[in-house]
Amino acid sequence: MKNAVITGISGQDGAYLAQLLLEKGYRVYGTYRRTSSTNFWRIEELGISQHPNLHLVEYDITDLGTSIRLIEDTHADEVYNLAAQSFVAVSFKQPATTGQVTGLGVLNLLEAIRIVNPKVRFYQASTSEMFGKVVEIPQSETTPFYPRSPYAVAKLYAHWMTVNYRESYDIFGVSGILFNHESPLRGREFVTRKITDSFAKILLGQLDTIELGNLDAKRDWGYAKEYVDGMWRMLQADTPSAYVLATARTKTVRDFASMAAKAAGFDLVWEGAAENEIGIDRASGKVLVRVNPLYYRPAEVDLLIGDPTKVREELGWEAKTSLEQLCQMMVEADIRRNKTGSSF
Ligand code: NDP
Ligand code: GDR
């Protein structure tokens, strides 16, 4: 039985990856942070929180000693590093914390692997945010990086550290450059889930209007459950490398809002421009979406669209779920949860 460590099991990807690895017969050590109240709703919703092969381990990635003990105590074969301060907007408000967790934290794990067992296979959750400002379309493994937030800069440090530990110490370190991936388990602060949760609430009469920021940002959105399979495939490859996971399709935030509105039974018409733009329901004439510049970022990533050719050709991975299907799935889950008051 192989031992896998997943840092950040309380997050979206951690929950789906744990489910996948348990299905594959792994013993899984999932790390969580000590907090004043527990945060296991995702693994509970997936029905794996009591699985006999799932072990929850208290851990903070900013602590080197704990990182060393984590690798020692778990006898890890594979480590999937998903832990991060992952919200771009917050990284502008807490740049130093983001740097310590999302950037330097990864060095702690790499050092722990180097010291305890350099044979451990290591997955680093890199991100399309590292491409940042548009330099090339679509973005692939060879596109130059131009990070546009403290989060993206921290991730780039971690990305290059993973490369450096591979080249310096022969550690099997891979970086998955994953484009945005969403699901009913997405955190509510991210724009897709904010939108699907809000439309569910509007439908149920619990909310009047959604306030959003930049509606023109374009993202390549895929389904998180499929992306964690890509992570696993990267660690089973013959040689370590970096791979882009993406759908090769891009849509604006406005498009996603229209799609989610439709899934909730509304038909949005857009009026006005920039910070005065509103989305009106055609049937009722009510304003359901309003732009609030409060949600604008100091620097924005305007357009992301990935080229997943390498991962398809080398590892046989491709995105299957369409954005329409994903959006429908998220809206339905949020209607169900808000009906019973069990939305997280
Ligand atoms: P989430 O924000 O949902 O999960 C992040 C996880 O990291 C949580 O379990 C969180 O714990 C944990 N964490 C935060 N700080 C620390 C710390 N100091 N020590 C240990 N653990 C910590 O992110 P996702 O699941 O969406 O993403 C997983 C990873 O992939 C992240 O690294 C993210 O940056 C990256 N990524 C995500 C993409 C996406 O579209 N989802 C795309 C590309 C990369 P807690 O619950 O206690 O906060
Ligand atoms: P992102 O995701 O920054 O791409 O990072 P997010 O959903 O936060 O933003 C996507 C785009 O939507 C615009 N936007 C808003 N965003 C939020 N959160 N709230 C709003 O009200 C709003 N209105 C418009 C943003 O400006 C942005 O352009 C996610 C995270 O999961 C990262 O950890 C990961 O690395 C990248 O995806 C790939």
Which residue has its alpha carbon closest to ligand 2 atom 19?
A: 191
CB distance 14 to ligand 1 below 6 Å: yes
Which residue has its alpha carbon closest to ligand 2 atom 8?
A: 190
Q: What is the distance in A from the centroid of ligand 1 to the CA of 208? A: 31
Question: How many other β-carbons are positioned within 10 Å of the β-carbon of residue 76?
Answer: 24
Residues annotated as catalytic are 127, 129, 151
Q: What is the distance in A from the centroid of ligand 2 to the CA of 189? A: 8
The number of the ligand nearest the C-alpha atom of 124 reads 1
Q: 59 with 66: CB under 8 angstroms? A: yes
Return the CATH superfamily for domain 187-219+251-302+321-340. UDP-galactose 4-epimerase, domain 1 (3.90.25.10)
Q: What does the CA dihedral 183, 125, 30, 228 come to, rounded to 10 degrees?
A: 40
Lookup: tokens for 62: 């900013």
DSSP code per residue over 8-31: -TTSHHHHHHHHHHHHTT-EEEEE
Q: What is the distance in A from the centroid of ligand 2 to the CA of 134? A: 16
CA distance 161 to 176: 14
pLDDT band at 138 (very low <50, low <70, confident <90, very high): very high
Average pLDDT over residues 81-105: 98
Query: Looking at this protein, which amino acid is placed at residue 71?
Result: I
Pairing between strand 251-252 and 218-219? Answer: antiparallel
Residue ranges of the chain that CATH labels 3.40.50.720: 3-181+221-245
Q: What is the distance in A from the centroid of ligand 2 to the CA of 82? A: 17
ipTM: 0.99
Give me the pLDDT at residue 269, please: 98
Which residue has its alpha carbon closest to ligand 2 atom 32?
A: 86
Torsions phi, psi of 281, nearest 5?
A: -75, 120
CA distance 266 to 260: 8
Give me the pLDDT at residue 343, please: 81
Average pLDDT over residues 301-317: 98
Q: What does the CA dihedral 124, 130, 136, 140 come to, rounded to 10 degrees?
A: 0
- Total H helices, total E strands in the chain: 12, 15
Give me the pLDDT at residue 342, please: 86
Average pLDDT over residues 53-79: 98
End-to-end CA distance of the chain: 34
Residue ranges of the chain that CATH labels 3.90.25.10: 187-219+251-302+321-340
DSSP code per residue over 28-74: EEEEE---SS---HHHHHTT-TT-TTEEEEE--TT-HHHHHHHHHHH
Proportion of the chain in helix, strand, coil states, percent, rounded to 5: 45, 20, 40
Q: Span 3-181+221-245: which CATH code?
A: 3.40.50.720
Average pLDDT over residues 230-257: 98
Alpha helix ranges (H) inside 117-213: 150-169, 191-203
CA distance 217 to 211: 15
**DSSP H or E segment with residue 339:** helix 323-340
- Give yes or no for residue 157 having a pLDDT over 90: yes
> Residue 51 class from Cβ within 10 Å (0-12 exposed, 13-18 middle, 19+ buried)?
middle
214 Cα nearest atom in ligand 2: 24
CB distance 191 to ligand 2 below 6 Å: yes
Q: Which of 229, 220, 192, 239 is nearest to 318 (CA)?
A: 229
Write down the residue that tokens 């991975």 correspond to.
317
